[in-house]
C-alpha cells in the first residue's frame, strides 16, 4: 500500500514499521527510540536477532551524542561520503542505542542516507533503524513493487522510485588502527582510499568473532539456482541456458538473456542487479548461467560478491547461522 510522506512519519511515530526509499535499497524503518517497533522488524523480515540493524541519521552532530569515537579520519570520511552509501561502525555510549537494535554488541552501525525522502523523514524523527526491506536471505528491494512482492500489497511503502545505487551501503569498521571493509557495497574501496590514503582491507569475519554478523548469513539469493562462470560461454554450453549477461557479449543458443547492461557501466549493472534476480523468480526460472567474467575492481567487485552469495543455496556459516 503506497503511503504519503506525512503518513510515513505519523505511522513511525505510532510505533509501526514502514518501508522507505534510500539511494541504495529500500529499508524497513522503525524509530530508534521504539524497542517494540524494532522487535517487529526482526519478526516481519524473519531476521535472526543476532544480526544488528543500521541506525540512520541526518545530523552529523548526532554521532558525538551516540558514540565515543572521534577522530580526524572519521571526520574526513563523513565529510566526503555523507549523505551517501557509507555505513560506519562505532563504539556506542551506554543507553543511547537500544541493545535489540545492535544485537547486544558494544558497537552500532551508522549511516546518513542520500535519498531526499529519507532525509525528509529524518528531519522529523531524528533517527530510525532500517535493514533492507526484503525477506531475510532474498535479494534486496530496489523498487516499491519488490517490497510489496515480499511483504504483501497491504504493507505500507513510501514510493521513492527506483533506488539510484541499487546495492547496499559499504560498511567500514576500525580494526587494529585501520579502517576495514566489513561489507562491500555501492561505495568502492578505491573511492574510500582517496580519502584514507590507503586501500581498506576486508575485515576478518570468522564465525567466532564476526565483525559484521550479517556476512555469516545466506544472502541475496533468488529461488533460481545460479551458476557462475568466468570461462568462455561456449565451453559450458550444452543446452539452451537462461543467461544473465552483458549487452556487448553474444550468448549463442541462449533461450533468454537477462541483461545487466553494458560492461563499461558498472553503476548500471548495480542498478539492475536485484531486479534481474527477482525477475528470474517472477518468470519461474529454475536455473540460470551468470556471466561473471567481469573486472575485479571498483563496484564490479561488489557485484561479483553479491552474485557469488546469491548462488549459494546453504548458509555461509554452517554453525549457528540458521537459514532465514
The footprint of ligand TXA (CB under 6 A) covers 22, 24-25, 27, 51-54, 87, 89, 102, 105, 107-109, 111, 113, 130-132, 168-169, 171, 182-183, 211-215
Residue 118: strand, helix, or coil: helix
Asked whether the CA dihedral 280, 285, 286, 287 is positive or negative, the reply is: negative
CB of 264 to ligand TXA, least distance (A): 25
Q: Which residue has the cell 561488489?
A: 302
Q: Which is nearer to ligand TXA, 256 or 309 (CB)?
A: 309
Pairing, β 27-31 against β 127-129: antiparallel
Q: Is 132 in the site for Mg ion (CB under 5 A)?
A: yes
Helices H / strands E in the chain, number of each: 9, 12
Binds 218, which of Mg ion, ligand TXA, none (CB < 5 to 8 A, cut-off by type)? none
- Residue 142, interface with Mg ion (CB under 5 A)? no
b/e for 296-308, b at 16 or more Cβ within 10 A? eeebbbbbbbbbe
> Residue 234 CB, nearest distance to Mg ion (Å)?
36
Q: Which is nearer to Mg ion, 189 or 306 (CB)?
A: 306
Question: Which grid coordinates are listed for 11?
Answer: 505511522
List phi, psi (to 5°) of 308: -60, -45
Per CB under 5 A, the segment of 105-113, 125-133, 178-186, 260-268 that binds Mg ion is: 125-133
SS3 content of the chain, % helix, strand, coil (to 5): 30, 20, 50
Out of Mg ion, ligand TXA, none, which partner does residue 89 contact, by CB within 5 to 8 A per kind?
ligand TXA
Residue 287 beta carbon to ligand TXA: minimum distance, rounded to whole angstroms: 26
Instruction: Give the residue with the Cβ less far from ligand TXA, 213 or 245.
Output: 213
Radius of gyration of the chain (CA): 19
By CB under 5 A, is residue 87 in contact with Mg ion? no
To ligand TXA, the closest distance from the beta carbon of 309 in angstroms equals 11
Residue from 267, 270, 230 nearest 249 by CA: 230
- Least distance from ligand TXA to the Cβ atom of residue 280, Å: 21
Set of cell numbers at residue 215? 556476512
Task: Tell me which residues touch Mg ion (CB under 5 A).
Answer: 132
Amino acid at each position: 500500500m503506497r503511503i504519503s510522506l506525512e503518513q510515513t512519519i505519523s505511522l513511525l511515530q505510532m510505533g509501526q514499521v514502514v518501508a522507505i526509499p534510500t539511494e541504495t535499497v529500500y529499508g524497513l524503518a522503525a524509530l530508534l527510540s521504539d524497542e517494540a517497533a524494532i522487535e517487529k522488524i526482526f519478526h516481519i523480515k524473519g531476521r535472526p536477532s543476532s544480526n544488528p540493524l543500521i541506525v540512520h541519521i541526518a545530523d552529523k552532530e548526532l554521532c558525538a551524542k551516540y558514540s565515543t569515537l572521534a577522530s580526524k579520519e572519521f571526520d574526513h570520511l563523513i565529510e566526503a561520503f555523507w549523505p551517501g552509501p557509507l555505513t560506519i561502525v562505532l563504539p556506542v555510549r551506554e543507553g543511547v542505542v537500544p541493545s535489540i537494535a545492535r544485537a547486544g554488541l558494544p558497537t552500532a552501525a551508522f549511516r546518513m542516507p542520500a535519498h531526499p525522502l529519507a532525509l525528509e523523514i529524518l528531519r522529523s524523527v531524528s533517527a530510525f533503524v532500517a535493514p533492507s526491506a526484503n525477506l531475510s536471505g532474498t535479494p534486496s528491494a530496489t523498487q516499491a513493487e519488490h517490497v510489496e512482492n515480499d511483504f504483501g500489497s497491504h504493507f505500507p511503502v513510501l514510493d521513492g522510485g527506483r533506488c539510484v545505487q541499487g546495492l547496499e551501503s559499504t560498511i567500514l569498521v576500525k580494526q587494529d588502527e585501520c579502517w576495514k571493509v566489513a561489507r562491500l557495497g555501492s561505495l568502492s574501496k578505491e573511492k574510500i582510499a582517496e580519502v584514507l590514503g590507503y586501500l581498506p582491507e576486508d575485515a576478518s569475519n570468522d564465525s567466532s568473532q564476526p565483525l559484521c554478523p550479517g556476512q555469516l548469513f545466506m544472502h541475496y539469493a533468488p529461488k533460481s539456482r545460479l551458476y557462475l562462470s568466468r570461462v568462455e560461454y561456449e565451453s559450458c554450453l550444452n543446452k539452451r541456458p537462461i543467461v544473465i549477461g552483458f549487452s556487448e557479449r553474444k550468448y549463442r543458443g541462449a533461450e533468454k538473456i537477462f541483461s545487466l547492461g553494458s560492461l563499461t557501466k558498472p553503476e548500471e549493472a548495480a542498478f539492475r542487479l536485484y531486479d534481474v534476480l527477482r525477475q528470474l523468480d517472477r518468470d519461474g526460472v529454475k536455473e540460470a548461467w551468470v556471466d561473471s567474467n567481469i573486472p575485479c575492481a571498483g563496484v564490479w567487485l561488489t557485484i561479483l560478491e553479491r552474485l557469488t552469495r546469491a548462488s549459494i543455496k546453504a548458509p555461509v556459516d554452517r554453525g549457528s547461522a540458521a537459514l532465514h
